[in-house]
Amino acid sequence: MIKKIRLLKALLHDSAAFIRLKLKTTDPNSKALLVNFENPQLYHRFFYTMLKFYRLAGYTVFYPMSFSTFRNLRNKDRYLSLIVREDNFLDLNVKNLPEDFVEITDRIFSPDYFSDYFDKKNNTENSFHVPMSFHPFMYNQEIWDLNVDTERKRFNAIFCYGNFDSKAYLDIKKTDFKVIPRTELLKFFQNKDNYLEAFSEEKITSKSKEELDRKYVFAIKENYGIAMNDVREHLSYFNFYLCCPGVVMPLCHNVIEAMSVGTIPLIEKEYAQVMYPNLQDRVNAIIFDDLEHLNQILADKLFNLSEEEISSLKKNVLEYYKKYLTPEGVVKNINNSIHNKKLIYLQAEHRSVKFKK
């Protein structure tokens, strides 16, 4: 009986929310996106961030759907649910749709995100890859573009933060990717004399230039979980960010957060090649082939770059971010791809990787 009452209450709440959205009116003169997707669940968090980018770029998002679709979106996935739970996100009424609009449909998208890399020698002439984004909650909580001083004097050091769970982050070894798992990268740096672990914000921000220069500074989540609204601020104190791969693929949201403040990616070659456009060594990244090569870079090159070289790299990183990774940049590139009839690849995380098994 209690379970039935709980289910009935959920149904009533969902019904009320659906009716509110159906009754919503929209300015017909605004830029508009029409969404005709039968299976948004395939792309989970990345479907949310793509639609969110259109909202942040000034578009009204029209998404006609049935009540059952609404309930699935609202209750099945914590990121997809944001599409119907966020205030002023959607309009369900196509009668409000202006004459000029952009339309996205299932048929022009594919979750086979890495097929160009593995099967076509990374030829992307006829395709577009919607890039990695910040963690979805950074957009949802409106902290993705908090003001950060990107011109501050930085430590000539490497920073890295995140989860280093030894079990979860070895799963990438079961895929076709050849990147070094983040747990192995951590062990590599822990054996260095210049390794330093941060346990608080003060451990970073209060240090003098001499204390942290040429250090490898790690903020491991288990010991110091950086608040999401402080992530970009922390990154802006350092010249370099060590890009660790995700659970089952090279891509991880941390690299985007680093580039947003001009922190230069120190990144493995395969990782750099599944970012589109590919990152380039000594242009907008420092790229290493393997641990031996990384060791050589640390010993001979990284901390000996001139101020002019660092400034040029940082400038190029910020330009890359603005052109390809901001909501406005991504939306512009998606719209151009639709116009040019290109196949658009959208991340589906584990599902995207399973295509290669």
Flag whether 165 is in a domain: yes
pLDDT in tens, 199-235: 888 777 776 667 899 999 999 998 898 999 999 999 9
200 and 87 both lie in a single domain: no
Which residue range(s) make up the domain with 30? 14-134+337-354
Is pLDDT at 357 greater than 60 in this prediction? no
Q: What is the per-residue pLDDT across 316-329, written as a single tens digit (0 to 9) for each?
A: 999 999 999 999 99
Q: Which residues contact 239 (CB under 8 A, 6 or more apart)?
A: 154, 155, 156, 157, 263, 264, 310, 314
Structure tokens at 356: 């290669």
Whether 252 and 286 map to the same domain: the answer is: yes
pLDDT above 70 covers a percentage of the chain that reads: 97
Please indicate, yes or no, if residue 246 is contained in any of the structural domains: yes
Answer yes or no: do 283 and 181 share one domain. yes
| Shared domain check, 176 and 282 | yes
Same domain, 214 and 272: yes
Residue 1 lies in a domain: no
CA 334 to the chain's CA centroid: 16
Q: Give the pair of three-digit tokens for residue 242.
A: 């060590």
Q: What is the per-residue pLDDT across 168-209, written as a single tens digit (0 to 9) for each?
A: 778 888 899 999 999 999 999 999 999 999 888 877 777 666
d(CA 275, CA 159): 20
Is 8 inside a domain boundary?
Answer: no
Cβ proximity of 55 and 63 under 8 Å? no
Does one domain contain both 198 and 82?
no
Are the beta carbons of 275 and 251 closer than 8 angstroms?
yes
- What is the spatial distance between Cα 356 and Cα 7, in angstroms, rounded to a whole number? 40
- For residue range 33-62, what is the model confidence (pLDDT) as tens digits? 999 998 999 999 999 999 999 999 999 999
* Predicted model pTM: 0.94
25 located within any domain = yes
Distance (Å, whole) CA 271 – CA 268? 5
